[in-house]
Amino acid sequence: MPSPSPSTSPVRQYSQPSPFLRLPPELRLQIYGLLVLPRKETDLLPSWAKVHSSTQDYFDYEAKRHGTDLPLSANLTNPTLMIRTLDPGSYRQMIPAHKPIPVRSQYAVRCDRFRSACKSTTYHCINNPRLEDHLGLLRVNKQIHFEAAELLYSSYTFDFDTHVEAIVPFLSDLTPFARSSIKSIRVVKRALAYEKEFDRCEWSTALRYLTSTSTALNLHKLELGIVAGRPGTNGWDRVPRYSAEYFRDCHMDGEEGMEWMQYLLEIRGLQELDVKAVVEHCPPATNSNAMAKYVRFSASVEDGFARFLRDKLVVVPVVA
């Protein structure tokens, strides 16, 4: 991440501007893009060392291109940086001995098999596009810092998957200007039927931070994954779906197991919301009423639930 930026507004004019700053803004942005954005689809491939920490990661590290053994390449039109919680104690091993350890906030995670013990660790970008040698650009002067930093942070989607405990420390370590430049975030909500009290606390803490006015985020896009249970071989074939009207009428944030909705519904100003079901196997709906309700909700994630959230969170542009 770049060094702390000045708290003042960007300086737009100099008495004797350099030849570079006399270039049209669109040309300067093209030059910045060559330095802070990925050039090839393979620049954003994740590391093949899976992250095993306090939470299951629903990103598919082993996804292949259709019909080949080649890794699935990144989408350069929507470049994504994957921020993950590290295994406690492994961070120092990832930094070469001759390099200083970056200063990052530490936080506690539940890390043993049964998630009963807490240890301190930090976050890490698992698909680092290797921009470190170019970030000196952000220290040239105020104007270049603001122009390049805004392009850098507004161009990437910051993907936390289920590692929501990393959201607060990661965003807190950024400068206010860098934080306000972020436009797109991706998170995944863990399976509701198996949610624990500490899951609720982690999610509530992250969402309260994202929606706080003091955080000064200005999100335009949210990618929301919901872990959805699909039982047996027939899946959701005969499972009735909940409609958007059902979700509007039943006060979702007050439903048992849906308390996390309270903070999600406080997000304002979205221009785009992408809701996806992250499908995993679950027991049959006949096991219990709670499981039947979860399976029905899961079948509705990309239909009624997605339409309900878009109606609540997405700002409809006014046509003149």
pLDDT value at position 43?
80
Q: Which of 122, 78, 116, 87 is nearest to 102 (CA)?
A: 122
Do 199 and 120 have their domain in common?
Answer: no
Residue 145 in any domain: the answer is yes
Do 27 and 139 have their domain in common?
Answer: yes
Write out the residue range of the structural domain in which residue 288 sits: 183-320
List Cβ neighbours of 278 (8 Å cut-off, separation of 6 or more).
Answer: 58, 188, 225, 226, 227, 228
Do 191 and 142 have their domain in common?
Answer: no
Do 132 and 22 have their domain in common?
Answer: yes
What is d(CA 296, CA 290) in angstroms, rounded to the nearest whole number? 10
pLDDT value at position 10?
53
Do 142 and 214 have their domain in common?
Answer: no
Residue 164 in any domain: the answer is no
pTM: predicted TM-score of the whole model, two decimal places: 0.85
pLDDT value at position 14?
47
Residue 228 in any domain: the answer is yes
Residue 113 in any domain: the answer is yes
Do 194 and 272 have their domain in common?
Answer: yes
How deeply is 258 buried, as exposed, middle or buried, from its count of CB atoms within 10 A (0-12, 13-18, 19+)? middle
CA angle 134/140/141 to nearest 5° reads 140
Do 26 and 140 have their domain in common?
Answer: yes
Residue 174 in any domain: the answer is no
What's the distance, CA 183 to chain centroid? 11
Sites in the chain below the pLDDT cut of 70: 1-17, 48-55, 61-74, 88-89, 91-92, 94, 112-116, 197-198, 252-254, 318-320
Domain count, the chain: 2
What is d(CA 249, CA 260) in angstroms, rounded to the nearest whole number? 17
Phi and psi angles of residue 141, each rounded to the nearest 5 degrees, phi first: -160, 175
Residue 176 in any domain: the answer is no
DSSP class of residue 71? B
Q: Which of 162, 14, 158, 157 is nearest to 77 (CA)?
A: 157
Residue 175 in any domain: the answer is no
Coil vs helix vs strand at 224: strand
pLDDT value at position 196?
72
Q: Are the beta carbons of 294 and 193 closer than 8 angstroms?
A: yes
pLDDT value at position 112?
64
pLDDT value at position 192?
76
Residue 159 in any domain: the answer is no
**Where does a domain end: 133, 151, 169?**
151
Round to the nearest angstrom and report the end-to-end CA distance of the chain.
40
| DSSP notation for 38-57 | -SSGGGGPPPSS---SSS--
pLDDT value at position 53?
61
Task: Report the amino acid identity of residue 116.
Answer: S
Do 32 and 116 have their domain in common?
Answer: yes
pLDDT value at position 301?
96
Do 91 and 197 have their domain in common?
Answer: no
**Where does a domain end: 130, 151, 172?**
151
pLDDT value at position 228?
93
